[in-house]
Amino acid sequence: MPTIKLLRRAELELTDACEWYEKQQKGLSKYFIKEIKSSLHFIDSNPELYSKKYNTDLHFAPLRKFPFIIVYWYDKNLETIFVTSIFHTKRNPESFEPK
């Protein structure tokens, strides 16, 4: 199985989302983290399942219960999944700059 690495941007977005959900309802961030982990486990076992977009090597995996997309690329040679963003779907898509 590949290794999963969250890049700095994804870490910051995850932290911000958890803080926001916790302010909305105590304990809600735990459910959010649980869904993130579940999605990452699924991506780990099927790294090429989700389609690539924007003429890049970036894959976009939507969460089921929360309005977020996990953006990642898979390096077969390194056997590593790099998560570049945990993007809120209500944000302006133009604010997402594939890197």
Q: What is the DSSP string of 36-98?
A: HHHHHHHHHH-TTSSPB-TTSS-EEEE-SSSSEEEEEEEETTTTEEEEEEEEETTS-GGG---
Number of structural domains the chain divides into: 1
Between CA 70 and CA 96, with CA 68 as vertex, the angle to 5 degrees is 70
Q: What is the pLDDT of residue 92?
A: 56
Q: What is the pLDDT of residue 99?
A: 47
Task: Judge if pTM exceeds 0.85.
Answer: yes
What is the percent of the chain where pLDDT is above 90?
Answer: 76
- pLDDT tens, residue by residue, 15-56: 999 999 999 999 999 999 999 999 999 999 999 888 888 788
Establish if 36 belongs to a structural domain.
yes
Q: Can you name the residues that pair with 59 across neighbouring β-strands?
A: 52, 72
Q: What is the pLDDT of residue 2?
A: 86
Between CA 92 and CA 30, with CA 61 as vertex, the angle to 5 degrees is 90
Question: Which CATH number characterizes residue 26's domain?
Answer: 3.30.2310.20
List the end-to-end C-alpha distance of the chain, in Å, as a whole number: 24
For helices 8-24 and 28-45, the axis angle rounded to 10 degrees is: 150
Residue 26, domain extent: 3-91
